[in-house]
Amino acid sequence: MKKNLAIERPEHRQEILAIKRKATASKISDAFLALGPVAKDYLAGLASAELHLAHHLAKIMDMVALYGKTELLQALTHALAHKAFGAPYIQNIVLQQRARRGLQDTPPLVIPNKPQWTKITVEEQDLSLYDDLFPGEPHDPLVPDHSLPLLLTTFRLLHTASTFQDQAKQAALENISHLEFLARVLSAEDALRHERIVRARLKDAKIPGIKTLDAFDWAHPTTISKSLILNAFSLDFINTNSNLVLVGPSGVGKTHLALALAYTACQKEIKTLWVTAADLVNTLTAAKADHSLSRAINRFSAPKLLVIDELGFLPLDKDGSDLFFQVMSHRYEQSSVVLTTNRPFKDWGKIFNDNTVASAILDRLVHHSDVVKIEGPSYRVKNRREQQSPPAGK
């Protein structure tokens, strides 16, 4: 007679493994809590840090076996005081504790409790002769720098992690204080961090070219409020979610100033986006057609500074006007706009083909705004004429 074959569900093995893992984790957790009240508080900290409890507790309990309960309790107390949660922090503290006491970092050797093993004796050898093979000062056990790269990387101090040894040697040669050394290291890290952020800001801003205020020809426009422009470059208007409107004919430097403001904002780590009025409306129109309008409006609403160039060169249809209004409405009193236009405000009804929409946009734009009127001949035409004019005396 055939035996009945047990039919096992495919999920049964996974369920058994999950139960075993849970039991193992519970066993490790109970053993850790048995260390005392400090362990209970540290376990709560691990949980609040959203770390993998079973993994970190297993690592810490391994250190209990290697270094002893007393050593680990001291490390847990220090870590708890500094809110340093995780097995790598505990290991680093233990190693520093042992180094300060002149102990080697190598954990004690655990020999199984077998009589035939414990009776084995080996004559101790004199290893000092090997020191002659490696001239130079021995490693100072009071300087446990082996853990520094891990800590520096954990805190994302990547530049310091790769250069701290050279910087420490230079500091020793210059005999500077610890505080001065720390200030030097952090200053270098901050400079590199700033450089990375500025590169990212410039890339995200989509600026078509780099212009600066120093390169602006103040003598060219016949009318311009230099004080308002200089005040705008302090970027205080961005801190108050205010706006700046540059009004004037083509070729008087509106785009140059707008580009320079966008570049300056990026240098100050301010999230910036550059777009022409036509590209803004075209992008929103396309997004509306493929049902991604909300995401597109968020793209133009998110940057702290939005620079819109060339409003008024092309009229907008009703959909384009409505979409432009939505962006202005989202940004109103939430973030800043720099806008250049070649049309006076009284003509904006012609730009948007609707006086009501134009009025609503102007109301939000100029409520908290500085308006700079720039007049003069076109710099491009002037430059072209100068290039074509024959030199004097010919």
What is the rounded CA–CA span in Å between residue 254 and residue 250? 8
Domain ranges for the chain, please list them.
30-109, 154-202, 226-382
Instruction: Compute, in degrees rounded to 10, the torsion defined by CA atoms 298, 302, 308, 311.
Output: 30
**CA-CA-CA-CA torsion for 345, 346, 352, 353, nearest 10 degrees?**
180
What pLDDT is recorded for position 387? 65
Left if phi > 0, otherwise alpha if psi is -120 to 50, otherwise beta: which for 291?
left
**What is the model's pLDDT at position 141?**
42
Q: Which of 204, 159, 175, 180 is nearest to 299 (CA)?
A: 204
Phi, psi at 276, each rounded to 5°: -80, 160
**pTM of structure:** 0.60
DSSP string for residues in 189-219: HHHHHHHHHHHHHHHHHT-SS---STT--TT
pLDDT of residue 68: 86
Q: Which ranges of the chain have pLDDT less than 70?
A: 1-25, 103-146, 382-394
Q: Residue 152: what pLDDT?
A: 82
Residue 135 CB partners (closer than 8 Å, separation 6+):
none
Superfamily of domain 226-382: P-loop containing nucleotide triphosphate hydrolases (3.40.50.300)
Q: Which amino acid is at 392?
A: A
What DSSP letter does each residue of 256-287 carry, written as one string?
HHHHHHHHHHHHTT--EEEEEHHHHHHHHHHH
